[in-house]
Amino acid sequence: MDSILKAKNGAYKCTECKQLKDQFNLTFKVPEIELRDGKIVGNPDEGHFCRPGFTNYPGTLMAQKI
């Protein structure tokens, strides 16, 4: 059973951060996660704004839109 998929090396952008950036016209840079040899390189949480616990989370903008 060698059907396990492995992520390829490279940089992957956070799709949730990108969606928020596009929706609210944010100026934040969409963070990337780098993979090498199937392992995450660096801090995978750095620069994200897609969750309420992150400092750049646009919670006030989201509340205004409701």
DSSP string, 7-66: PPSEEEE-HHHHHHHHHHT--SPPPEEEEETTEEES-TTTT--SSTTSTT--HHHHHHH-
pLDDT confidence bin for 3, thresholds 50/70/90? low
The Cα angle at residue 46 between residues 44 and 52, in degrees rounded to 5: 100
Answer whether residue 17 is part of any domain. Answer: yes
Give the residue numbers spanning the domain of 28: 10-52
Answer whether residue 46 is part of any domain. Answer: yes
- Alpha-carbon distance of 52 to 35, in angstroms, equals 25
For residues 14-23, give the mean pLDDT: 94
Answer whether residue 48 is part of any domain. Answer: yes
Residue 10 has pLDDT above 70, yes or no: yes
Answer whether residue 61 is part of any domain. Answer: no
Model-level pTM?
A: 0.74
**pLDDT given for residue 4 in this prediction:** 62
Report the domain count for the chain: 1
pLDDT > 90: what percent of the chain?
Answer: 45
**pLDDT given for residue 8 in this prediction:** 86
What average pLDDT is seen over the chain? Answer: 85
